[in-house]
Structure 1
Amino acid sequence: MIRTEGLTRRYGDAVAVDNVTLAIEDGECVVLAGANGSGKTTLVRHFNGLLEPDEGTVEVNGRGVGADLVAARTAVGMVFQEPRDQLVAATVGADVAFGPENLGLARDEIDRRVADALAAVNLSGRGDDRVDQLSGGERERVAIAGALAMEPDHLVLDEPFTGLDDPARASVLDRLRELSASGTSVVIVTHDLRDVLGLADRVVAMAEGRIVVDGPPERVVDSLAGYDVRVPETTETDVRGRSARPPGRC
């Protein structure tokens, strides 16, 4: 579980996150929605200690994040909005292997994780490609693969579908669905719910650093108007995407 209690974070006189209490259960898929500047990215960067709260607490798996940053960063995988912030190696395979190698895993296990992660983002066979020659969307996929290869207890993705083509988007969504079903909590940070509403167990919306909406998608989607969040143009919303299409569309 990821839990915050009264979390507040300031930048000078500006309050970026304002007294947020939130719990994300194991295996839960949460869409954290809101406009740019609403505080959502600042909030999730506390989950693995990239930021420290000015007030309040953050716990991962029952332990304070500040008490063991290594444990928190192993338990919480993070995919940043800008993939250049986390790509560290010259080739695709080496970059995806970087995290598992630092866990001290056996070579066979590292190779398995790399292969599985690359398959999940439609990059199988691309391990020798140079990172500096990839498109922006391909770099995003490598960043996602690197987080998947760590096999974290919790996975946080900040605007993960920017620049992805349809096949890659579908592959990533399928993998996230599998992870959630296996007990990994998934947090997707976005202002655009069109790709992810059918995946979500819960939608949490932020505005001005505070949580303003929190509940199952079918109950809260109509409450998102006015918060600069894009929702699917459907007449019926199904939380698992079984009938989330308007009549006449396929």
Structure 2
Amino acid sequence: MIELDGVTCRYGRGGDGEGDDEDGDEGVDDATVAVDDISLTVPDGEFLVVAGANGSGKTTLVRTFNGLVEPDAGTVAVNGTPVDEDLVAARSAVGMVFQDPRDQLVAATVGADVAFGPENLGLAHDESDRRVDEALAAVNMAGRERERVDSLSGGERERVAIAGALAMEPDHLVLDEPFTGLDEPARRSVVERLRALHREGTSVVVVTHDLRDVAALADRIVGLADGRVAVDAPPEEAVSALPGLDVRVPEGGGLDEPTG
């Protein structure tokens, strides 16, 4: 379980160089509030969508889940342990896929990059290899382990980043705009993998401004505006309010499950 209590995050304070918020808005004023007094619980096994326009605070919010962003006020706990007391535990339990895959790819080849996390957990080679194979298959990258990361397209790099997080098999998987740059087959493959993870008991958090791929999978949708929670409801209730937050919803507000 991920628990946030009164979390507030500011940027630009004290000339620390954090003048851009994590959702892509540049040139924010000094001490801009990116996340404003948010309390939120993500239960084990929930599929949560955090929706909002650029600058709404959604990326900053989810980066507090495993300590990538430290709140200025409030507390964050993962599985009952405060994040600031055990960053290693938080980052093992909460897997994160960044909006820009260049921020997390660390190895020269596809296979080595996806294996980086499992190997750092000290897993046996057979187990690490199994995780790498399954994760790459999930994003339509099977058999490409030896390809160099720097030779890949932007969409392919996104898929490798997702595979790297999947290979960690975390309790909670957080994906920030995971479908950006993906072609239709890859989008369907990732959706199917997220559906399977959810059914297996992993809590999944998807950050997006476009609900068409994930609305039907969600148990709950939280919509942010100006750093605050504007919507917190089941999908059937949330979709009617979300267009007012500059969020794209399925045509007609339909919530039929995507087909693969």
Q: TM-score, normalised by structure 2?
A: 0.91
* Matching residue's letter, 2:83: V
1:125 partnered with 2:108: no
Q: 1:69 aligns with which of 75, 80, 87?
A: 87
SS for the counterpart of 2:9 is: strand
1:174 partnered with 2:198: no
Map of 1:21-100 to 2, 5 A cutoff? 21-100=39-118
* Matching residue's letter, 1:197: A
Q: Distance in 2 between matches of 1:220 and 1:241?
A: 18
Q: Distance in 2 between matches of 1:129 and 1:152?
A: 26
- Alpha-carbon offset, residue 241 of structure 1: 5.1
Superposed CA deviations along residues 19-49 of structure 1, whole A, max 9, x for unmatched, are: 0000011111111000000000000010000
1:10 partnered with 2:10: yes
1:157 partnered with 2:175: yes
Map of 1:147-226 to 2, 5 A cutoff? 147-226=165-244
Q: Distance in 2 between matches of 1:71 and 1:148?
A: 17
- Alpha-carbon offset, residue 223 of structure 1: 1.1
- Alpha-carbon offset, residue 235 of structure 1: 5.6
Q: Distance in 2 between matches of 1:94 and 1:144?
A: 14
**Corresponding residue for residue 245 of structure 1:** none
**Corresponding residue for residue 136 of structure 1:** 154
Q: Distance in 2 between matches of 1:142 and 1:125?
A: 12
Q: Please, which runs of 5 or more residues in structure 1 have no aligned partner?
A: 243-250
* Matching residue's letter, 1:83: P
Partners of 1:197 and 1:241 within 8 A in 2: no
1:231 partnered with 2:249: yes
Partners of 2:9 and 2:35 within 8 A in 1: yes
SS for the counterpart of 2:239 is: helix
SS for the counterpart of 1:206 is: strand
- Alpha-carbon offset, residue 225 of structure 1: 2.6
Superposed CA deviations along residues 61-95 of structure 1, whole A, max 9, x for unmatched, are: 11100110000000000000000000000000000
Q: Please, which runs of 5 or more residues in structure 2 have no aligned partner?
A: 14-30
Aligned Cα root-mean-square deviation (Å): 1.1
* Matching residue's letter, 2:121: L
Q: TM-score, normalised by structure 1?
A: 0.94
Q: Distance in 1 between matches of 2:112 and 2:201?
A: 27
Partners of 2:94 and 2:174 within 8 A in 1: yes
What is the percent sequence identity of the aligned residues? 72
- The 4+ residue runs of structure 1 with deviation greater than 2 A are 234-238
Q: Distance in 2 between matches of 1:235 and 1:109?
A: 42
- Alpha-carbon offset, residue 194 of structure 1: 1.0
Superposed CA deviations along residues 94-142 of structure 1, whole A, max 9, x for unmatched, are: 0000000000000000000000100110111000011000000000000
Q: Distance in 1 between matches of 2:253 and 2:142?
A: 38
